Chains A and B, each alone.
Chain A
């Protein structure tokens, strides 16, 4: 999240597969972590949503593994390790809250998917390697579908009229009184 990925460091489809796999497995880890947090705080609905998101990212990781053939995406990969950057698709754990709503969770997921889309889109224009560019376009299309899915799901959870402007922007658990 802190560093902009450098397209020049991704010089082959093997590197891009390894990075894409790492991005997805990182997303799985974060969503599972969020599910655990919600389970601890007895937020059952959010536990289920984050587990579903983790499962979806896990399927995507498996799809990348399948697409890569025998490239060994889950083995330590020197080029991927040299690509020193926080994952663009990482959910912002700092925005979690024990009273967060499905809408908050979907907004978190949407932001992560949009960053991933921007990453792969940026890669398509930032690389001169045609095979990397083609693969980046495939991943960008996939992320675009995820963005659209999040947006569709968000329509099921509109901002409550009585919470307009509060839940998305401020303290989700405001105090009843201030000393």
Chain B
């Protein structure tokens, strides 16, 4: 009997039967399209991929894929994903989040996930607003963005997640725009293949609470410089860019975190005894 080659999966094979319920026009539809295309390009079967998320519009994405998924606690997707990757290093672990879940509620985990450099791919669908809860300002909302909840704007300076990722030790930093799904898919492929913590900020418009973001498609442009492996240089570029540079901005060469392998195997019964009151 001759050996048969495994059948290559197509993007549609990574989609579940569950239909997305995002608002029509939402950038997250494009991100889902990019993600499934990236998975097909990577050639990994769905059972070798885990998609982990927190809470928010963007965090619905695991349900729309046929891979392993976990829709976790608000802001806690990264520690959950790191734990999974450490015990199942054979899986490709992709983490999905939004600017509220990832930068505010999960902001502290973001810093330490970058620092630990576990081999994860972190996709943050940034729309500069809390869309699911009807439009409160997030950490990336412009200070003068006027809402009923923040008349005249919040007056709070937004932070720069890419600079923070660099400063905290992320090993791969890129920016994408959801409306360019092919380019975004290519970036996801590269991020998954790059060892260590890979972070992609995906500008993904919220057409319901930020219809002005439809203009992003005319503002985004390819980064005018090649990616660097010098974090300080990358940070300087990011501090002065216009927020719409797309592409890989930093490729580090730090070794990813790996747990010590010489530890004694854990006995579950002994472990449970340790928690007995």
Chain A residues engaging chain B, CB cutoff 8 angstroms: 1-2, 29, 33-34, 36-41, 84-87, 92-98, 100, 171, 179
Report the stretch among B16-24, B78-86, B112-120, B232-240 that lies at the interface. B16-24
Chain B residues engaging chain A, CB cutoff 8 angstroms: 11-12, 19-25, 27, 29-30, 33, 148, 151, 177, 179-183, 186, 205, 207, 211, 214, 217, 220, 222
Cα–Cα distance between A24 and B142 once the two chains are bound (Å) = 39
Cα–Cα distance between A93 and B182 once the two chains are bound (Å) = 14
Chain B residues within 8 Å of A39, by CB = 19
7 residue pairs, one from A and one from B, having the closest CB atoms: A96-B24, A96-B25, A37-B24, A179-B148, A2-B180, A98-B24, A86-B182
Question: CB distance A1 to B24 under 8 Å?
Answer: no
Question: CB distance A171 to B211 under 8 Å?
Answer: yes
Cα–Cα distance between A131 and B186 once the two chains are bound (Å) = 31
Name the residue of chain B whose CB is nearest to the CB of A75: B8
Summed over the interface, the residue pairs from A and B with CB atoms below 8 Å come to a total of 64
Chain A residues within 8 Å of B177, by CB = 2
Residue in contact with B179 in the complex, picked from A1, A34, A96, CB distance below 8 Å: A1
Question: CB distance B183 to A2 under 8 Å?
Answer: yes
Cα–Cα distance between A29 and B179 once the two chains are bound (Å) = 15
Question: CB distance B27 to A94 under 8 Å?
Answer: yes
Residue in contact with A86 in the complex, picked from B25, B29, B183, CB distance below 8 Å: B183
Q: How far is the CB of A43 from chain B (nearest CB, A)?
A: 8
Question: CB distance B24 to A100 under 8 Å?
Answer: yes
**13 new A-B contacts at CB < 8 Å, known A93-B30, A95-B25:** A2-B179, A38-B24, A86-B180, A86-B182, A92-B217, A93-B29, A93-B179, A94-B207, A94-B217, A96-B207, A97-B207, A98-B24, A179-B151
Name the residue of chain B whose CB is nearest to the CB of A74: B10
Interface residues of A, dominant DSSP: loop
Cα–Cα distance between A94 and B217 once the two chains are bound (Å) = 9
Question: CB distance A41 to B217 under 8 Å?
Answer: no
Residue in contact with B182 in the complex, picked from A85, A94, A100, CB distance below 8 Å: A85
Cα–Cα distance between A36 and B22 once the two chains are bound (Å) = 11
Chain A residues within 8 Å of B21, by CB = 40
Residue in contact with B205 in the complex, picked from A37, A85, A94, A100, CB distance below 8 Å: A94
A–B complex contacts, Cβ < 8 Å, 14 sampled: A2-B183, A29-B12, A29-B33, A84-B182, A84-B183, A85-B182, A86-B182, A94-B214, A97-B24, A97-B25, A98-B23, A100-B24, A179-B148, A179-B151
Cα–Cα distance between A68 and B22 once the two chains are bound (Å) = 38
Cα–Cα distance between A93 and B30 once the two chains are bound (Å) = 8
Q: How far is the CB of B165 from chain A (nearest CB, A)?
A: 24
Cα–Cα distance between A102 and B211 once the two chains are bound (Å) = 21
Name the residue of chain B whose CB is nearest to the CB of A90: B181
Chain B residues within 8 Å of A37, by CB = 20, 22, 24, 29
Question: CB distance B182 to A34 under 8 Å?
Answer: no
Chain A residues within 8 Å of B30, by CB = 93-94
